Each structure stands twice: as C-alpha cells, then as structure tokens.
Amino acid sequence: MLPSGAKDTQLRESNSQKVHPQPMEEMNQNPEAVEALISKIFTNISSLKSAYIQLQAAHTPYDPEKIQAADKLVISELKNLSELKHFYRENNPKPVCISPQDSRLAAEIQEQQSLLKTYEVMVKKFQSEIQNKDSEILQLQQLIEEANQKRAKLEKNLKLRGMYTKESEGSAVENGFFHVDLTPELFTSFVEATFKAIHDFSKPLINMMKAAGWDLDAAANSIEPNVVYAKRAHKKYAFESHICQQMFSGFQQETFGIKADDLTLTKESFFNQFLALREMDPLDMLGQNPDSIFGKFCRGKYLVVVHPKMEASFFGNLDQRNYVMGGGHPRTPFYQAFLKLAKSVWLLHRLANSFDPSVKVFQVKRGSEFSEVYMDSVVKNLIMDENDKKPEVGLMVMPGFWIGGSVIQSRVYLSGMKIAE
C-alpha cells in the first residue's frame, strides 16, 4: 500500500490533475458540530423565509421604509447562509479536479450569479412598483389640476355674484361649504339671480308655445287683461309675471306653504340648507331624496306653473306630468330647466329666513301708482311727461323685499307708457 503522499504523486503524474486534501476526520469525530451546523442551516432558512414574508407584506400597503428594512434583512440572511456554506466547504473540502478552471471558483461564480438573479428579480419588481406609483402620482396631479380649475371657475362665479371676498380667498372649506357671510349684499345678489332665472325659464316656455301654435297675444291677455304694451315684444313680461306669481306664492311663510313633518325651523337650519344646495345640481339632490321638502316644493310648483293644456300641446301627452304627480322628477331638458328656476327661488327663501329678523317680501298690485322708492321699471327708456299723470303698474315681474331698514325694489312693467326709439 502506498502512502497518501505517494498516491497524490501518482495521481498528478497519471492524470495531470490536482487533488485537495480531505480532512474529514474532524467533522466525523465531532457529530455535535455537524448537528449544530445543520441546525444553523435550518434556522437560517426559517429566518430567510420570515424575512421574505416581511418583504412581501411591506408591499401591501406600500411602505417604502418597511420594504427597505425587510430587504436588508433578506440580504443579511442570504449572507449568513453563504457564510455557512463557506464554513462547511473550508472544513470539509471534497476532491475537486482542477483542469482548465477551478471548480470551487466556478461554484462561487454560480452562487454569485444566483444571488445576482435574485436581486435582478427584486429590482425589476421594485421598478414595476415605482412605475405604478409614478402613474398614480400623475393621476393624482391631474385630479388636483382639475380641482383647481373647478375652484377657479367657482371663485369667478362667486365674484360675478358679489359673494367672493379677499378674506375668503385661499381659505379652507369649513364643514364642506365655502365660507359665506350672511349680509344684505348676499341676499341682493340672489334676488338678481332669481330674477334672471325667471327670465331664463320664460324663454323656452314662450318658444315652445310658439312651436305648438299658441296665440301668444291671447295667452298674454288671459294672464293680465287690458295691459297696454309699448311694444308687442313686451308681452313676454306677462309670462314672466305669471311664473313669478306662482313661484313666490307662499314665500312669506317659513314652510313656503309645504306640509311636512319634523321640520326644523331655525335661522341656522335655514342657512345650512342654503349652503347645502347652493353648489349642487338640483336633479342630483332630488335623486338622493325625491320626497324631501325641496322635492315637494319642486313638484308642487311645476304643476301650477305649467298648465296641463300647455304641457299636452308641448309633448302630445301628459306622461311627464303624471310622472311628477306620482312623486318622480324626470330627467327631461324641460323639467331640468324648471328645476334651475325652482332652485333659485328656494335658495332665496332659505336665505330670507336666515336673517334675524327674516326678510319680508312685498308685492305690487296692478293699477298701483309707480313709486321710485319701492319699484323699478323693467323697461328703462320710458318717456315721462311731467304734465301726464303718474304711470301705473301693469304687471309685477318680481316682488320687492324689506331687509333690515333697506328696500329692494319690486320689478314692474308700466302700462300705457311710450318708449324712446
């Protein structure tokens, strides 16, 4: 039998290969060390599994700090596992043939490549998540831009209505509402808005009457007979007067003439209702609660403003009217146009009862002598002769109001007047 050194020499000479020594005796003679090593490996694998679970958990919800901490933990456990592998190899080398390249070096390279692949997968995953977050950020930026545009548009509308002040500029929204001061100027601006709403609804109403073949002269005369109009086109004020009379009926009552249970009638509740509806689409609000007090108001006023014969001539049937009477609010263009008017009058009523004392409404009867204090003519270029008697009211187009010690004039059409061409 040849000694081990002679065997090594023989192998080198016969195969031109280099063989590492195999000191297995130490590990074989110490089974406790083997068991300890195996135990460490299992412990390390369990820790690696736990670290990877933490890394996955950190992504839902996305938490960059937890991801970074879990990533470090995974890398640490991988390093520990690699160190155990190196420890075992150093103490238990196997015969490794070194031909053109060292197999141990190849194993090291393979290990590093495996780690590199693991990191590449993680990097790609992180890059994908970063792209998703960038996309979410872009979407949020677009939403912010849209919100800013809507805010700018809203502020512009408030400025046009005289409801926007520098004090409110850039202020936060309180309780979901923009800050609004309860002032006579605010009420005056909504009187103007309501007057415009009456005019805006009368236009499609008159056009539909024309299209349906109505005799507009006879219709105007039936509303208020024997009014002497300076121009035929002025007969539109008769229809505006009819709309106004019907919409403002019951305005002086806190309930607006509506029967409803469990009504809270306080100054604060009136103002909160005003704020709640002010920026809402009336149809959206009615969709949420069609039988609300506002819904009952809209339903009742529509049925008195639009006569059944008129509606039948417009649409060829009474389906829309029956739908309203049944408790619905149709999404037709005509009804939506009416809801804009109803909203304006309702807001004015809520606002009038927010003041202490409440704003009082007054109407002007036909035949009343014109008063520049309490009345304002809707036609401006009138010819008044000092020798003639004072002009008389032919139609009231918009009521007047007492607010505190001030008067908001009623809008009237004067009968029998001449206008400057």
Tens-digit pLDDT profile for the chain (421 aa)?
Answer: 444 444 444 434 444 444 344 444 455 556 777 777 777 777 878 777 777 777 777 777 777 788 888 788 888 878 887 887 777 777 766 554 454 455 666 666 766 777 777 777 777 778 888 888 888 898 888 889 888 888 877 766 655 444 444 444 444 344 444 567 899 999 999 999 999 999 999 999 999 999 999 999 999 999 999 999 999 999 999 999 999 999 999 999 999 988 876 676 889 989 988 998 988 899 988 988 899 899 999 999 999 999 999 999 999 999 999 999 999 999 999 999 999 999 999 999 999 999 999 999 999 999 999 999 999 999 988 887 666 778 899 999 999 999 988 999 999 999 988 887 6
DSSP state of 174: B
Q: What is the pLDDT of residue 307?
A: 93
Residues 46 and 367: their CA atoms lie apart, in Å, by 99
Q: What is the pLDDT of residue 124?
A: 77
DSSP state of 24: -
Q: Which one, of 290, 245, 273, lies nearest residue 412 by Cα?
A: 245
For every residue of 218-263, DSSP letters joined together read HHHHHHSTT---SSGGGGHHHHHHHHHHHHTTTTTSTTTT---SS-
Q: Are 73 and 54 in contact (CB under 8 A)?
A: yes
DSSP state of 233: G
Write the pLDDT tens digit of every residue in 312-342. Answer: 999 999 999 999 999 999 999 999 999 999 9
Q: What is the pLDDT of residue 101?
A: 52
Residue 403 phi, psi dihedral angles, 5° rounding: -130, 110
DSSP state of 166: T
Q: What is the pLDDT of residue 386?
A: 67
Q: Which amino acid is at 382?
A: L
Q: What is the pLDDT of residue 59?
A: 72
Token pair in block for residue 238: 């008769």
Q: What is the pLDDT of residue 21?
A: 41
Token pair in block for residue 403: 């607010």
Q: Are 352 and 344 in contact (CB under 8 A)?
A: no
Direct distance between the N- and C-terminal alpha carbons of the chain, in angstroms, rounded to an integer: 139
Q: Are 292 and 258 in contact (CB under 8 A)?
A: no
Q: What is the pLDDT of residue 378?
A: 94
Token pair in block for residue 172: 């936060």
Burial class of 400 by CB neighbour count within 10 A (0 to 12, 13 to 18, 19+): buried
Orientation angle between helical segments 333-352 and 293-305, nearest 10 degrees: 120
Residue 408 phi, psi dihedral angles, 5° rounding: -105, 120
Q: Are 182 and 271 in contact (CB under 8 A)?
A: yes
Burial class of 350 by CB neighbour count within 10 A (0 to 12, 13 to 18, 19+): buried
Q: Are 389 and 240 in contact (CB under 8 A)?
A: no
Is residue 194 classed as helix, strand or coil in its secondary structure? helix
Is residue 376 classed as helix, strand or coil in its secondary structure? strand
Q: What is the pLDDT of residue 24?
A: 45
Token pair in block for residue 304: 């008195």
Q: What is the pLDDT of residue 219?
A: 94
Order of strands across the sheet with 406-408?
A: 360-362, 400-403, 406-408
- Using only C-alpha atoms, the chain has a radius of gyration, in whole angstroms, of 44
Write the pLDDT tens digit of every residue in 298-313. Answer: 999 999 999 999 999 9
DSSP state of 291: T
